[in-house]
Amino acid sequence: MSERRAKAKRIFTILEEQNPRPVTELNFETPWQLLVATVLSAQSTDKQVNKVTSLLFDKYPHPAQLAALMPEELAAEIKSIGLFRTKSKHLVASAKALLERHGGEVPADLPSLLALPGVGQKTANVILANAFGIPALAVDTHVFRVANRLGLVKAKTPTATEQQLTSLIARELWTDAHHWLILHGRYICHARNPHCTHCSLSEHCDYFHRQENRKGR
């Protein structure tokens, strides 16, 4: 673990030099808006979500407005987003749950967030970190892929990835580490055809060294 921790320190030092203050690319102003945007972002791009929410947030600035809708009504407004029917059901149900349980406010604790329809561990961690400044390390497909490729973790699930990363990284860096890994996955370490030759982390990357060794055979 000490060797992996030293490796993590080298990697995150490089990423911090490139992007000292990483932030989410989802547009939001309130915890409620971030909840909506994060639920919508599953299997969609932040760019597309921002297009949809730029109109959605004006019409439904508070859970009360969204709770008054039928899921079908919301679905018609977010149909450019993947899984829009399921997401519309979850968002309307979550809006109602916030009104009933939390006075219309998004809670700032993990168990309460996880009890909301459509809010899983990743979404809850994104809200805690970005809306409330509570250290959390959300694992999406990018974080999962990059962390495993680099060799920071050896995990088969997002849950195991989160557990290994949080044991490896100082708590105060959890949120930044999430952003650094997700942005690296989004722009450099693609699922297909990663830009290894343009990657500042190649020297420290298990995946890169495996690919190089195969070429040398």
The residues assigned a catalytic role are 122, 140
109 alpha-carbon distance from chain centroid: 17
The rounded distance, in Å, linking the Cα atoms of 104 and 15 is 38
Joined together, the tokens standing for residue 84 give 């829009």
What b/e readout covers 33-61, taking b as 16+ CB neighbours within 10 angstroms? bbbbbbbbbbebebeebbebbeebbeebe
- The DSSP-derived string for 117-158 is TT--HHHHHHHHHHHH--------HHHHHHHHHHTS---SSH
CA distances (Å), origin 85, targets 70, 77, 117: 11, 10, 14
Phi-psi region of 151 (alpha: psi -120 to 50; beta: other; left: phi over 0): left
